[in-house]
Amino acid sequence: MTSKYRKNLQKISKRLTTHQLRRLPEKDLELGYNNLFMRDEKQPVSPYFLGYYSPEGVRYALESYGFFETLHKIGYKDLDLVVDTQDPYRQRIAVYYDHKDPQHLLGEVVVKKKHITPYPPFPSLIYGRNFEVISIEWLCMQNPLANFNPDKPRLPGQKYPGLGMGAMIMEILVIMCGRLRTAGLLNVPEHFHNAQMYSGQFMYLDPDEEARRLAIARDLLGHCTLSQASWAIDLGCVRENDKAFKWHGSDQIIALDRDLKEYIQSKDYKRQVKEQTKNFHYVLDQATWAQKASEIEDAPTCP
């Protein structure tokens, strides 16, 4: 499934040139040119995000995609963009409003390049192969001026309500993956609601994990909201196959590589998911939920 942003953002991305995305102010030109050719321990930190985008290029791309305009419409005007490339293996982009401090953080993403080696439970062209991907290490999009309400309840891990820009951000990251010629965008959902909300774009590399997500949705979302189900799992109030269930992160991917795409779309993958979904069963432990729900602020009620 593709998001509503994909067609428009892809169209815009095709108009962005390498020069626009890699340009540096004159004070950083010498550093940038040196980093193209020198790789020693004494070399200063590269200004290029993931080795490609200059800070000015990141800003230009986000402006072109309408990212800042969307924030303006929400009500945030005085925006400050931070592109942090200090750690070559874990790089960060953040957006603040009014002041550059944690209380005024609107969005933050931390990514890195990494290699994955899938081992599917059935014969596949991708078995044991190495793929370079962009991995999302941390992602936060929040609206500090908004309040939680019954229509937008607090989710596990949230300090403030979201901005409603998650799908846009994912598409921008996918475009980045394509420009850097990586095999895809990798994500390890921290909570069940993360996995469920992005299931229209991401698929689990492991078909058994995709089956587990579908089984949770089948068994819990029929009588609980997404917020209620996610809180119940987070608080240890859900049982899997009559045993205590603890959420664990596993790799989800938006595949760009042809063989990875074919694997996820294959009959073997779908067959494995269908069969394994039958083997997972989830129930809400009502007594534990009644006890632990009071521990959280704005706790939702799950019937």
Domains of the chain: 6-213+248-255 (3.40.630)
| 135 closest CA partner among 52, 51, 9, 251 | 251
Over residues 244-265, the pLDDT tens digits come to 999 998 999 999 999 999 999 9
Is the predicted pLDDT of residue 29 greater than 80, yes or no? no
> Can you tell me which residue has the tokens 């908004």?
146
- In this prediction, residue 295 has a pLDDT band, given cuts at 50, 70 and 90, of confident
Q: What is the percent of the chain with per-residue pLDDT over 70, rounded to a whole number? A: 90
**Predicted local distance difference test score (pLDDT) of residue 41:** 54
Q: Report the run of H or E that residue 141 belongs to, with start and end.
A: strand 131-141
Whole-number average pLDDT of the chain = 91
Residue 7, pLDDT above cutoff 80: yes
pTM of the model: 0.90
Q: Which two tokens stand for residue 91?
A: 């790089």
- The pLDDT, as a whole number, for residue 44 is 67
Question: Sheet of 238-240: strands edge to edge?
Answer: 243-244, 238-240, 282-284
Note whether 77 and 67 are within 8 A (CB).
no
Residue for token pair 């300090």:
159
Q: Please state, in angstroms and as integers, the Cα–Cα distance from residue 193 to each residue in 65, 77, 198, following that order.
A: 26, 30, 8
Residue owning tokens 């790089």: 91
Q: Does residue 298 have a pLDDT over 90?
A: no
When pLDDT is cut at 50, 70 and 90, the band that residue 271 belongs to is very high
**Averaged pLDDT for residues 62-66:** 98
Asked if 36 and 202 touch (Cβ cutoff 8 Å), the reply is no
Residue 303's pLDDT is 40
